[in-house]
A and B are shown apart, each in its own frame.
Chain A
């Protein structure tokens, strides 16, 4: 009996000359006899009762396995490779990458018996460095979504994959005659060399065909700004590892984009308290994750950010002799003091200073930021410039497409962009335009607002099901390898585009190999390099060297003089949502239920206003209003956001989807319906009118934002840290007790530490934990009843005035008290202490009195009030981590310090006959944390990293005085304010 082994699928005789994915070959392999054990196909003659039951049992057990097929092409596991490629219970890790706009994040995906079950960052990838974010983690849930489109539908007729490819080929062929003049493509942004190559080939074959690129989070302004500054569009890649003073101009670089993980890592590292600690300034309207970390946050309307930047430039020019900025400078009397202090600080830092502009800000801000960086000598040091794609990806791009459709020039439109009908500006009315195109081919993963307009609907393979490649922001190429055979009949984007160059039936594997065979380094045998690239997740030596373009001061000044349109009245400002982004995660229940890092809102968005503005307009929290902007209107609830600029309204995008399944439909309001193509990000003249009397019911995971004067997350200034020691001393150290410590003599005493100075509040830990530990999603109503199940939550406290609060985020999971209040009150011994200091939860012993939760001072225990793990679709079952028990109703659960990972490594160490190594075991939250704010290890080992963290001068215990002796220690937050602004 021989089962196909992951990673050892039979190789076609001549490598890839005979691509497995040719339709016929694919069909043939379906019934490959070696796939089944001998004799499984034919029933034995006259079987006994026992035999019958055996077969019955086996068929039930195997019924669910049909779908977990490992991909048949050779894919290469990362680092840990067990001897037998598929050992039941042993996980494999494969490197791949997913794109985010033009850049990509490298990932390692854990695969259990052919099922991807967990996503981690690839330590070798420059954008991940081992960290991963909530978005990357959540991709997994999308993979198994039972609502995914299956197969192909043309004008209402379902097609087989073969027929669909044939139909696509015919469609392509029909455009050959006129050189593709009536053929258009609408794609999303991508940095994939393969897609670029396919596009080049299509454009070669159809000289008349046009590609349009659209992203609802387009960075066109940055493109135009750098074009003005450098003469051609450049992409700025921040190097926070080299920066000491950073000014973020409305740039939430920690929340969005492929680079956010690396930036979080670098920023966290640069904030180690000490002489070299960096300082972060943020000028922004609504409190973002980046702003919440800033040492100084300047609250201002989005339109004032430019004025602030010009004031900084003026000071730099006047006081610090940076004549190149003279023409750009302009006074901003209201903010003179802050702007001067920032400018002085930037000038002091010189080449270690950095000014960065958010993609929502107008081109002028980007141009000015580039000019300031150049004047400071920071260009090439703290910010690297690389050429960017020279084509618009925002409304301008759609406008061109709309004009072509309007002129009747488009017969076939191939859409691979993400849901453009939803993401397009409201004044574009893409929905109506698409109705006028005879053939709309749409590659979609799920039914959405655009699928209704598609005459040829092509199910899209998930990123974890398809071959491809991607580039990191520094140009490093990663290969994307499928981790699982497509669950449903579907095509990937390269396969769809390939069908326009007669390569549709060759499969993604062939396409990507063909490209890299040609491009790979000469000399080395391709097969070897290929395997190495796949295993490692990156193609070495593909990084692009940064350029050092000269700033054209005159053009920048001209752009500034041209000015930006005035923003009269109430300013509307559109932002990507921290959890749903632009709506791409609207059907992802993990992301819907992930609290917004600042508002802690789940399953909802709201129009964010400041307290003063709400008062002026006579609005209170939760009041529903009608928002009117240039004749467009939408109804939304009001959320009074501490730290928000006055006279401005922030509108998070991504909600209010109308076709998004049971998870995403009609959740929140669609701010995009107010968005105009001429004022894509910012606009003035917003009007608010209250609607009705009833207040909107929000579901927030945290209702109280004040620490009530309690020492829960103390923070210090860098200068005050020494004096703060005696304050911290009260929050740590031994507590008097009559009892002996439970595990004083144990050679292993597990402990954790969380550095609040590094935590950005991004909540990657929450989702990583959810994925690792099979944590259910409970829905808005249950969250409103305060029954969310996240084992690790990120508490967020505000300090100081409500207009301009300081923010501390604090991840809290079970702290594994040495003297745990939960343990002694459990009547059935369902929560007990291990001799290694773990506070263990025995699910099958729990009757659910909830006494443990009542007695938990940290309230980290989660109760299954209902059967939250409802019977699942077969694909959803594949998501489950087989190492973690699925909990049923009536049972208490909580953080286990990822005991399954501890045991996995303990077993491995024991088999290898060695001790556990420090750092070998990483909890899911620790592994995901892009900022490396979480440390875990053996406290009994004095040399371990965790022991050092526990001995840190900033260490304190949460609720120390209760005497629970928590094993999770916290390191206090330290701020580095500018003394001139004190």
Chain B
């Protein structure tokens, strides 16, 4: 079987050799067989078990949402002064996770980075599902969610536009645009593979289903040409979104007057943080999936190592952000800022969360200076989870610790999440997992058409070795 051969090849690789982006030169049929195999084989027991867990969590999510809507936001731990807590923490966290997908599929495409090919669909699906989770929170966190549509500018009987000065309005546009573009980008990229699935399917139902979603893809040169243009355009549209979405999300905080929020460094620091956490999430997901489906030859050590390098770089950018926040708090001479950064965060009631954040986000990525760490699956996987935890705590620090002790000590108070808070958070993870498992099961998680293309490019390079780098 192609799969085991590829795995055997990977095992034989010398650690010191540069790792290729594609092991071996499989033919088109081999690629199809290997990459479509998870779709055509019987549902596996591990998949079922995981799916059951995720669906249960997703069920919990819907129960918790129903409970919240029926009873009130009071079932969460939010209070005055901590008006936002798990709701916005999780929103920012999920949005941030989404970013890596867009970065991989759009920016790296524009930069013609070959190593993006076999992980881009993976990353895009992650983006899409993460943004879907993120969207739950702003919609649900309002006191009267049934009036959320008032945030959209539509000619209403209230004869009133929304307040375009509010960063929350900008959020509405930024996040919805992001979701739509990500969906289109992912779906357009999926078309050739859907067509291939239709063509290779053995059952009639599958053929009809995939046929509908393939939108009549025939693989003609004209279609490919249009496809290319559309894909490139979407990549072009997505690219600024990588920067803009999290910039605007950061405005929710930066535009306020709250010490700990009111800072100009937030936009770049949020974008760096988003990419940091996004890559961590890709690693968290791809390492087990690649193992489970035997995709080691297409998602090679090269991919993982590159992602580790990106994490190292963005991790240091995030650390720089932390450093500058503290520097400005001290250098600015503003008592409230100083207290927030040097007293409340470091030694306040939520100090353990702060130090967890420092340990996970500032210290952990430095392990990737070592190649051994970058190539060790376990180190990569654990580090990626630590970074995910760290980025969640970062949002907790920014939102909850800034809010719980602001200007007037008389209004200082503690925030404690309730079981509903935790249920919704766990529920979104379950929902994300559910969607992701469905994606792995029914759609090729590695783009077969792009891998085929990559193989041809690599062959072409092999014939003309001076022509470039890869």
Is A702 in contact with chain B by the CB < 8 A criterion? yes
Partner of A851, one of B71, B166, B172: B166
A850 touches B147 (CB 8 A): no
Interface residues in A, total, Cβ within 8 A:
55
CB of B257 within 8 A of chain A? Answer: yes
In the bound complex, CA of A964 to CA of B150 (Å) = 28
Q: Give B226-256 interface residues, CB cut-off 8 Å to A.
A: 252, 255-256
- A704 near B412 (CB under 8 angstroms)? yes
Expressed in whole angstroms, the Cα–Cα distance for A708 and B73 within the complex equals: 32
Known A-B contacts A827-B168, A859-B408, A890-B73; the reply to A851 vs B144 at CB < 8 A is: no
With both chains docked as a complex, state the minimum distance between the C-beta of A107 and any C-beta of chain B, in angstroms: 31
Asked if B151 and A859 sit within 8 Å, CB to CB, the answer is no
Encoded as 1 (CB less than 8 Å from any B CB) or 0, chain A from 189 to 211 comes to 00000000000000000000000
Across the interface, name the chain B residue whose C-beta is closest to A958.
B408
Residue pair B408, A812 in contact (C-beta under 8 Å): yes
Chain B residue total in the interface (Cβ 8 A): 51
Q: Which of B365-415 contact A (CB under 8 A)?
A: 403, 406-414
Interface centre among B141, B142, B252, B412 (most CB of A within 10 A): B142
Taking the closest CB of chain A, its distance from the CB of B442, in whole angstroms, is: 37
Known: A847-B144, A847-B148, A959-B407. A865 touches B83 (CB 8 A): no
CB neighbours of A855 from chain B (8 A)? 256-258
| Nearest A residue (CB) for B411 | A859
> Which of the residues B166, B255, B335 comes within 8 Å of A710, measured between beta carbons?
B335
Quick one: which of A708, A787, A849, A889 contacts B409, CB cutoff 8 A? A708
Q: Is the CB of A821 within 8 A of B72?
A: no
Q: Is the CB of B81 within 8 A of A786?
A: yes
Contact partner of A861 (CB less than 8 A), chosen from B77, B78, B80, is B80
User: Contact string, A317-355, partner B, CB cutoff 8 A, digits 1/0?
Assistant: 000000000000000000000000000000000000000
Partner of B71, one of A702, A786, A854, A866: A866
A825 and B261 CA atoms in complex are apart in Å by 14
Given contacts A827-B168, A854-B403, A890-B73, contact A859 B80 (CB under 8 A): yes
State in angstroms the CA–CA spacing of A782 and B71 once bound together: 14
Is A853 in contact with B81, judged by CB distance below 8 angstroms?
yes
Partner of B172, one of A702, A706, A827, A959: A827
Q: Which residues of the other chain, A, contact B142 by a CB distance below 8 angstroms?
A: 847-849, 890
Of the listed stretches B25-33, B155-163, B210-218, name the one at the interface; the rest are far from the partner chain: B155-163
- The A interface, classified by DSSP as helix, strand, loop or mixed, is loop
State whether the Cβ of A915 lies closer than 8 Å to any Cβ in chain B: no
- Residue of B83, B145, B161, B339 near A854 (CB, 8 A) is B83
Of B72, B145, B166, B407, which one neighbours A824 at CB under 8 angstroms? B166
Closest to B416 in A: A785
B397 to chain A, nearest CB (A): 15
**Residues of chain B lying within 8 A (CB to CB) of residue A858:** 407-408, 411
A162 to B: closest C-beta gap in Å: 48
Residues in B whose Cβ lies below 8 Å from that of A704: 409-410, 412
Q: Restricting to B409-453, which residues have a CB under 8 Å from any CB of A?
A: 409-414, 416
Decide: B165 and A824 in contact? CB cutoff 8 A: yes
* CB-defined contacts of A846 to chain B, threshold 8 Å: 143-144
- Looking at chain B's contact residues, the main secondary structure is loop
* Residue from B144, B163, B411 with most neighbouring chain A CB atoms (10 Å): B411
**Complex interface: chain A residues within 8 A of B321 (CB):** none
CB-defined contacts of B172 to chain A, threshold 8 Å: 827
Is A906 among interface residues, defined by CB-CB distance under 8 A?
no
Q: Is the CB of B256 within 8 A of A825?
A: yes
Q: Tell me whether A795 is interfacial, beta carbon within 8 Å.
A: yes
Residue B59 is within 8 A (CB to CB) of chain A in the complex: no
CB-based contact B410/A812 at 8 Å: yes
List B contacts of A797 (CB < 8 A).
409-410
Is A890 touching B72 in the complex (CB atoms < 8 A)? Answer: yes
Q: Does A825 lie within 8 Å of B409, measured CB to CB? A: no
B167 to chain A: closest residue by CB? A825
Answer yes or no: A829 CB below 8 A from chain B CBs.
yes
A704 to B142, CA, bound (A): 29
Distance in angstroms from B172 CB to nearest chain A CB is: 7
Q: Which chain A residues (745-787) contact chain B, with CB distance < 8 Å?
A: 782, 785-787
**A167 located at the interface, meaning its Cβ lies under 8 Å from any Cβ of chain B in the complex:** no
A787→B73 CA distance, assembly (Å) = 12
Say yes or no: A845-B83 contact (C-beta < 8 A), given A854-B403, A865-B74, A892-B143. no
Q: 8 shortest A-B CB distances, which residue pairs?
A: A848-B143, A890-B143, A865-B74, A850-B83, A859-B411, A795-B410, A786-B413, A890-B144
Q: A residues bordering B, Cβ < 8 Å?
A: 702-710, 712, 782, 785-787, 793, 795-797, 810, 812, 821, 824-829, 845-851, 853-855, 857-859, 861-867, 889-892, 958-959, 962, 964
11 A-B residue pairs with Cβ-Cβ distance under 8 Å, sorted by A, are A706-B409, A710-B335, A793-B410, A797-B410, A847-B143, A858-B408, A859-B406, A861-B80, A865-B74, A889-B74, A959-B407
| Sample of 12 more A-B contacts, CB < 8 Å, known A854-B84, A891-B144 | A707-B409, A812-B408, A821-B256, A828-B160, A848-B143, A849-B168, A851-B168, A854-B83, A858-B407, A859-B81, A865-B143, A959-B408
